Amino acid sequence: MTDTAPVTQDVMTIPRKAPEGPINLVGLTRDRLREVLIAHGTPERQARMRVNQIWQWIYGWGVRDFEAMTNLSKAYRKQLADHFVIEIPEMVSRQVSADGTRKYLARIAGGHEVEVVYIPEADRGTLCISSQVGCTLTCSFCHTGTQKLVRNLTAGEIVGQVMMARDDLDEWPRRGEGAGERPRLLSNIVLMGMGEPLYNFDNVRDAMKIAMDGEGISLSRRRITLSTSGVVPEIAKTAEEIGCMLAVSFHATTDEVRDKLVPINRKWNIATLLEALREYPRLSNSERITFEYVMLKDVNDSDADARRLVKLIEGIPAKINLIPFNEWPGAPHQRSDWDRIEAFADIVHKAGYASPIRTPRGEDIMAACGQLKSATERQKKSRREIAAETRT
């Protein structure tokens, strides 16, 4: 085999802007970046240094134009511009809530749109990003679940949401300023927007590796939380290959109820899920798992549910995040009453678990969990499609 053969093969699989158009460098891992640079004329012996330089410009300084990469020769900058682009999703709208929450609409290739939400808090700023347009799953309380899966986002589109928000927050370091000199406005990422991240594993992993890379965006793996509905076979892989914090959409304490709320439970039931979760903290060396629990009136919110929940997760280092149901037009559920939520939280708390009730944020701009929608909303799932998913 010649030296160049595998490189050429790899280049073919990298998403291009157009069939023969320039390659977008955003979202390529360091190894892939090295490969495409070499395949387009960068001498192999320089490749390592070039990767470091270009990486720094893109992810450390937020630069999108090769011309601005002043530590590269003019000729080399031209060569880069001939073959590559640095592109992130386009921000098509931005709404700011009375409480400071920002909701962005980001347009990705093909004209699809995903929502991205920035939530400022006293001690952190969290960006909620999407991994898919729509979702293949059909959780009964989730608005995204009513939308067909249009496609997986690429790694560039996933990390690009973070870069887009950094642009808006004016968060890239300024000239003469070291990275980390200013307090970070965007300090945490949660993969809790549209889609099931573990059904787009490779792209999510590559994007999060880029977000964690110390030479760029540089977020610690403990500041990234991936939320899954319970794709059991991918959970150990998440620990090993990403190592971020894990949240799980638990939402019910019996298989009978969970089968209905989170239909993936029919494939991997509560016992199977818990087994995988028990292993996660050890495999990922993270302290605890977040159990998300959406509070649905008369469905999963009784004292007996709360007691069953603490019994089920016994021995797992955990925090239980109670989410008051965010209603959307046509939703088949109602939010539990506030005193019910508090009584539930109390039982969980007395059992020794942190049980914060997630304060709904950005309600005036429909920015809350499960309310995110997209231009593809019109492509609703049919009853038959929902029934098919529920049967699997």
- Report helix, strand or coil for 38: helix
Of ligand SF4, ligand SAH, none, which one does residue 325 interact with (CB within 5 to 8 Å by kind)?
A: ligand SAH
The number of C-alpha atoms within 13 Å of 120 and in the hemisphere containing its C-beta is 12
Q: What is the nearest approach in angstroms of ligand SAH to the Cβ of residue 196?
A: 4
Q: What is the nearest approach in angstroms of ligand SAH to the Cβ of residue 137?
A: 7
Q: Is 203 near ligand SAH (CB under 6 A)?
A: no
The answer to whether the beta carbons of residues 191 and 159 sit under 8 Å apart is no
Give me the count of residues in the chain.
Answer: 392
Spell 161-180 as b/e; 16+ CB within 10 A means b: bbbbbbebbebbeeeeeebe
Please pick, among 115, 157, 171, 389, the residue that the annotation labels catalytic: 115
Q: Is 289 near ligand SAH (CB under 6 A)?
A: no
Of ligand SAH, ligand SF4, none, which one does residue 323 interact with (CB within 5 to 8 Å by kind)?
A: ligand SAH
Please name the residues in contact with 331: beta carbons below 8 A apart, sequence gap of 6 or more.
141, 143, 325
User: Token pair of 244, please?
Assistant: 């971020």
Q: Kind and range of the H or E element at 323?
A: strand 318-324
Site for ligand SAH in 244-273 (CB under 6 A): 249
CA gap 170, 147 in Å, rounded:
33
Please name the residues in contact with 234: beta carbons below 8 A apart, sequence gap of 6 or more.
198, 201, 228
In 29-141, where do the E strands start and end?
A: 84-85, 90-96, 102-108, 112-120, 125-128, 132-133
Residue with smaller CB distance to ligand SAH, 289 or 294: 294
- Report helix, strand or coil for 182: coil
- Report helix, strand or coil for 24: strand
Residue with smaller CB distance to ligand SF4, 133 or 310: 133
Residue whose Cβ sits closest to ligand SAH? 370
* Binding characters for ligand SF4, 225-254, by CB under 6 A (x = yes): ----x-------------------x-----
- Report the residue from 292, 301, 305, 389 that binds ligand SAH according to the rule CB under 6 A: 292
Q: How many residues bind ligand SAH (CB under 6 A)?
A: 17
- Report the residue from 51, 309, 323, 367 that binds ligand SAH according to the rule CB under 6 A: 323
CB count in 10 Å sphere of residue 41: 11
- Report the residue from 370, 376, 381, 389 that binds ligand SAH according to the rule CB under 6 A: 370
* Binding characters for ligand SF4, 107-146, by CB under 6 A (x = yes): ----------------------------x-xxx--x-xx-
State yes or no: is 369 an active-site residue. Answer: yes
- Report the residue from 35, 157, 196, 301 that binds ligand SF4 according to the rule CB under 6 A: 196
The contact set with ligand SAH (CB under 6 A) reads 139, 141-142, 192, 195-196, 227-229, 249, 292, 294, 323, 325-326, 369-370
Which residues belong to the active site? Answer: 115, 369
The contact set with ligand SF4 (CB under 6 A) reads 135, 137-139, 142, 144-145, 195-196, 229, 249
